[in-house]
Structure 1
Amino acid sequence: MASLPSRYREIQLIGKGLTGEVYRAEDTLTGRRVAIKVFHGNKQGVVYQYFLNEAQLLRRITEHRRHPHILEYIESNFVKEPYYLTTAYIDGPSLDKQIGGRPQPAWLVLSVVEQIGSALDYLHYGHPEMSPIVHRDVKPQNILLNGRYEAFLIDFSVASHPGFAIDDEKNLGTPGYMAPEQYQGAGAEKPESDQFALAVVALQMLTGKAPLPFHGKTSKQQIDRWKMTEYAEIRRLLGDKRRHTAEALIKALSYEPSQRYPSCEQFADALRMALKQDGEAITPPRKVTVPEPPKTPRQGLSLRPEWLLVGLIVLLSFIMAAVGWFTVNADSSLSMQSTVTTLPALAPSPTAMRNIVVPVTSVQPTTLPTLAAVPGPTLVPVPDLNGDVIMLQREPLRAGPSTDTRILLWMPKGAKAQRTGREERTSSALVWYEVIFEGQVGWCRSTNCRPQ
């Protein structure tokens, strides 16, 4: 076992990989269960550079924004051996184990695509310094599920970004999930490459089987056949009952990156509409009501019928006495005024919510906790401000300048919204504009809404 700092206790080996071992431990500084990836190998080699890349990238991401569907960085050590990376521990299976050769329910497929799509859009457009970050290895083994079916994207070792490069890189990714452009070699990947992989994952969840072989040459040949046959095999796999779903996936699986959706979020939205058109249940099942514990029988005297009559007479006497007292004192009572102060209810702590760990041995897609109702957006009068923006594509109006904030509504292609004058630049390529559309205030991205 690796000699790790004393802050970690109850250390247990849970896995091994290319870079070394993975341990589960309790972090005594935070009281949280954590995962510790320990590096073993040549520090001068390529594998170490990928290990270092993952640690630095996760640290920068967590420092900027703790995205709810990206594995959270905690600490790392690259000063002296053992070199390690500590992240949050997700108590649950990988999506690969969850699938296990079985088709998954449509609501879970949509949930994974929406959550991981949100994480990918943040990587592609949301970080002010590191974006575009291309994960390059989206697959079921790199997606974890917790007991609430929340999905987390892991393993950023081969993720590419403007500040990272290795001279002797080969084709990176996993055959069976790689987009066709990735077979051209390192540097050919694009943000749309991750969308292609996410669509393959969705297709595998729907059918229970991997749609592409796991060998590089045969996988690329199969993608070429998809293109030549106009994706007839995907339509066959999903059948007539899921023809709308097939079309939504086919667009995300387009051979040319420019023919795919402008963002993973729009892919998820198209998939939602398609599943609904095909009559699929896209709403997670409600939480099962926990039965009340059995009542303990009363000990001692039993309740006899004649005692019930006596009790009823006594109760009526008290009620009549109270009515008489109120009649006598009504005038004086009305002259008295008392002020009642109502304290606002405290919102649940996001930090506390994040630290909840639900231990499970396996995930069965049967129940989910019912989500609390979200208050509707506030309607405001439309002021005369700083011009309009026009939607280049269908674009969500969000509650804040981030892809992990709530969607208020969708603005159709060609629609115009009025700018308030506020904007936020999150990267050199992305600006968020605060706009007003149909009386609601929200934010849209410069990638899809252009100032007039």
Structure 2
Amino acid sequence: MPRIPDSIGKYKVETLIAKGGMGAVYKAIHPTLNRPVIIKKLDLRGRKDITERFKREARILMDFRHDGIVNMYDHFKIGKSYYIVLEFIDGKALDQVIREQRYLDNATAAYILYQTALALSYAHSKKVIHRDIKPANLLLSKKGEVKLVDFGIAVSDEDSEKGLTIEGMSLGTPGYMAPEQFRDSKNVDQRADIYAFGVLAYEMLTGKKPFTGTFTAELVASIQKGKYTNPRRYNPRISTVLLRIIKKAMRPSPRKRYKTLAPVIKKLGRFLRKYNREELKKVVSDLASGKEPEKPKPAKKKRVIIKVALIGAGIVAVLVLGGICYYTGIHNELLHPGSYGGIVFNIRMSNIVQPANKIFINATIYKEGKKLIRIENRRIIFRRVRKNADHDSYYIRSFPVFVRTGSYRAKLNIEDSLNWYSFVVSSEGHRPNLSCKRVINIDKYLTEQVPVTVNIKPINIITEEPITDFINIDLYQKGKWVNITEAGPIFPGEIYSFRVRCKMYYTKYFSTMIKKGQRDLNIIIGLVPIPGILILERESDRISFRLNGNNRIISAEKIPKELDLNITKKFKGRIPPGEYNLDIIYKKKRKSIHVKIESKKEIYIVASVDQKTGEIKFLIKQNS
């Protein structure tokens, strides 16, 4: 254990905070002010560039007087070591707060960004470029302050870079560096700091870095291309104002970024008008103190004229109702009940994962056909509904979404797990065991498994019953199909193709990309039974058919669809194998027939009415 000196110069040392190859950081007591200070010690010998940077940091901070930048009290040399005495900030670094909270809400993030922008803009006004803006260099104090620190690699117009940074040298933290900073750190301007400011905002609002990794060619290429995951995929609640700031600040081309932070400060100031600044300061104080802060709420506005308020409320209600109709499609269920049906996702989660309000769930619905077609205007919103009786899990349920009847697949990203589900949506009254909306129940526990765990469950897509017999699941590996039990491990970052074969069902092929970070793949895949052919012919339009009490039925085709038994005088359809009750109806008369549909066999039924007695007659032909 390194020895801690009793004093350094006139300062009484209390503790050693950190020690490294270039020096150490101590907490000490100021002799006259009687308050804690930080002493940074540099004792690296033989590296003139490091010594000059240390001295330049002191010169920069000596000229600064800003509430958002850490204060410097002293600079001196004892023996061969240099020292800087800085203001002690009792709190936490922002990167530690992000790890603890996962990500910050819009108001808190905007407040910290606003204070940071003010401090950084002040530095820019002094012709100083920080060159290392990141969460670790922002301190939150228990007094609710936000302080910018560490100007160790900053560059100033008043200080020569000769011998410190040469043409083509890269300085900074790779994940936060602007593209031009990789090419030449010496000649960057304030727009490099603005780029890092955008990365900082991204990380605060998502808990993730837009670009991860060390100083590699792949990382540099990604940053230069400006390709990163939309932050709303990680946090859909990000404010539009903050999202626009991130996107413009992080433009790869410096010419397309903000030229200064002035417009950013203006936008953030306008955004924060609806919040109480003292409450936001209290949130920062709680975060720095390790307390769970209360989520900031917009301040109450003064009472307005009731008539205007009612009109405004009415307009908002109409817009909200319109938005609900547009994104959920509920108006189609009301206006076209025979052609649309509803779907609800019901997910059971373990209590050991993140709280429900911080779980990342992204759901997309695709219409099956020759190609999967994404349903663009159906936004799926989830909410926590209740705890389970066993108290170790809870349920997250989506609001119902209404789509046209037919065959669909749903893709759900739940945290780092990719899940696919096949299902059929039919109109009300034609769903097995359901009288209203189609519900997909998902029992989901996030696990730590490498390689990817694959769980494929075939179901009869018509009856929704599990298929357990005569199943063969194959994986396409090394140019051939291999039974999944004999295949090699599956790792993230690749596209995998699966084949599901089952006696008396059509073979199903399925391909999916397993992204990096995903730990398990769950596929509930609907297989279509090989059908029989049912032909229903009626000699009069006044005769109608009902099969199991319905005048519609789901076909057993590779792409199932809903069929109307009475749309023409002669109906012909591919029907799932099974036993059915066929009703022939004429006026108030009804005749019931037991019909057995077998795979690859045809049944032909002709219905007519005796002209003399009015009795229903029928003829059945069955062909192999």
Compute the TM-score of the two structures, normalised by the length of structure 2: 0.42
Counterpart of 1:158 in structure 2 is: 153
Amino acid at match of 2:87: A
**How far does the alpha carbon of each residue in 1:293-333 deviate from its partner, in whole angstroms, 9 at most, with x for none?**
xxxxxxxxxxxxxxxxxxxxxxxxxxxxxxxxxxxxxxxxx
Say if 2:41 and 2:82, in contact at 8 Å, map to a contact too. Answer: yes
Return the offset for 1:17.
4.3
Instruction: Tell me, yes or no, if structure 1 residue 113 matches structure 2 residue 41.
Output: no
Counterpart of 2:605 in structure 1 is: none
Amino acid at match of 2:152: S
Return the offset for 1:15.
1.5
Amino acid at match of 1:140: P
Counterpart of 1:176 in structure 2 is: 175
Counterpart of 1:296 in structure 2 is: none
Equivalent in 243, 247, 263 of residue 244 of structure 2:
247
Say if 2:198 and 2:245, in contact at 8 Å, map to a contact too. Answer: no
After the TM superposition, list the runs of 4 or more consecutive aligned residues in structure 1 that deviate by more than 4 angstroms.
271-276, 281-285, 357-361
Amino acid at match of 1:254: R
Say if 2:43 and 2:80, in contact at 8 Å, map to a contact too. Answer: no
Q: Structure 1 pair 92/75, CA: closer, same or farther in 2 (3 Å)?
A: same
Amino acid at match of 1:199: G
**How far does the alpha carbon of each residue in 1:203-226 deviate from its partner, in whole angstroms, 9 at most, with x for none?**
101011122114233332222343
In proportion to residue count, which structure has more helix?
Answer: 1
SS at match of 1:109: helix
**How far does the alpha carbon of each residue in 1:356-399 deviate from its partner, in whole angstroms, 9 at most, with x for none?**
x999653543389xxxxxxxxxxxxxxxxxxxxxxxxxxxxxxx
SS at match of 1:84: strand
Counterpart of 2:122 in structure 1 is: 122
Counterpart of 2:290 in structure 1 is: 362
Q: Structure 1 pair 252/215, CA: closer, same or farther in 2 (3 Å)?
A: same
Amino acid at match of 1:149: G
Q: Structure 1 pair 57/244, CA: closer, same or farther in 2 (3 Å)?
A: closer
Amino acid at match of 1:113: L
Q: 2 CA distance for matches of 1:60 and 1:257?
A: 28
Structure 2 counterparts to residues 28-177 of structure 1, below 5 A: 28-61=31-64, 66-78=65-77, 80-100=79-99, 102-125=102-125, 131-162=126-157, 163-167=159-163, 169=165, 170-177=169-176
Counterpart of 1:203 in structure 2 is: 202
Q: 1 CA distance for matches of 2:222 and 2:276?
A: 33
Counterpart of 2:532 in structure 1 is: none
Q: 1 CA distance for matches of 2:98 and 2:237?
A: 23
**Which structure has the greater CA radius of gyration?**
2
Say if 2:93 and 2:140, in contact at 8 Å, map to a contact too. Answer: yes
Percent identity over paired residues: 28
Amino acid at match of 2:294: T
Q: 1 CA distance for matches of 2:205 and 2:287?
A: 26
In the comparison of the two structures, how many residue pairs are matched? 286
Counterpart of 2:256 in structure 1 is: 259
**How far does the alpha carbon of each residue in 1:207-258 deviate from its partner, in whole angstroms, 9 at most, with x for none?**
111221142333322223435xxx6634544547644432221111112222
Counterpart of 1:221 in structure 2 is: 221
Q: 2 CA distance for matches of 1:124 and 1:68?
A: 15
Say if 2:114 and 2:268, in contact at 8 Å, map to a contact too. Answer: no
Structure 1 alignment gaps of length 5 or more: 126-130, 290-356, 369-452
Say if 1:245 and 1:275, in contact at 8 Å, map to a contact too. Answer: no
Q: 1 CA distance for matches of 2:195 and 2:288?
A: 31
Q: 2 CA distance for matches of 1:209 and 1:218?
A: 18
Counterpart of 2:577 in structure 1 is: none
Q: 2 CA distance for matches of 1:288 and 1:200?
A: 23
SS at match of 1:100: helix
Q: 2 CA distance for matches of 1:18 and 1:67?
A: 31
Counterpart of 2:10 in structure 1 is: 7
Say if 1:8 and 1:26, in contact at 8 Å, map to a contact too. Answer: yes
RMSD: 3.2
Q: 2 CA distance for matches of 1:90 and 1:268?
A: 24
Amino acid at match of 2:84: L
Return the offset for 1:6.
5.2
Q: 2 CA distance for matches of 1:359 and 1:274?
A: 21
Counterpart of 1:350 in structure 2 is: none
Q: Structure 1 pair 244/155, CA: closer, same or farther in 2 (3 Å)?
A: closer
Q: Structure 1 pair 154/53, CA: closer, same or farther in 2 (3 Å)?
A: same
Say if 2:6 and 2:12, in contact at 8 Å, map to a contact too. Answer: no
SS at match of 1:155: coil
Say if 1:2 and 1:38, in contact at 8 Å, map to a contact too. Answer: no
Compute the TM-score of the two structures, normalised by the length of structure 1: 0.57
Q: 2 CA distance for matches of 1:358 and 1:76?
A: 33
Say if 2:105 and 2:295, in contact at 8 Å, map to a contact too. Answer: no
Q: Structure 1 pair 16/132, CA: closer, same or farther in 2 (3 Å)?
A: same
Amino acid at match of 1:159: A
SS at match of 1:69: coil
Instruction: Tell me, yes or no, if structure 1 residue 25 matches structure 2 residue 22.
Output: no
Counterpart of 1:304 in structure 2 is: none
Return the offset for 1:31.
1.3
Q: Structure 1 pair 18/107, CA: closer, same or farther in 2 (3 Å)?
A: farther
Counterpart of 1:318 in structure 2 is: none
Q: Structure 1 pair 207/69, CA: closer, same or farther in 2 (3 Å)?
A: same
SS at match of 2:156: coil
Q: 1 CA distance for matches of 2:71 and 2:238?
A: 39
Say if 1:287 and 1:367, in contact at 8 Å, map to a contact too. Answer: no
Q: Structure 1 pair 275/220, CA: closer, same or farther in 2 (3 Å)?
A: farther
SS at match of 1:176: helix
Amino acid at match of 2:198: A
Return the offset for 1:181.
0.9
Say if 1:249 and 1:271, in contact at 8 Å, map to a contact too. Answer: no
Q: Structure 1 pair 28/185, CA: closer, same or farther in 2 (3 Å)?
A: same
Q: 1 CA distance for matches of 2:238 and 2:95?
A: 25
Q: 2 CA distance for matches of 1:107 and 1:249?
A: 15
Q: Structure 1 pair 39/364, CA: closer, same or farther in 2 (3 Å)?
A: farther
In proportion to residue count, which structure has more strand?
Answer: 2
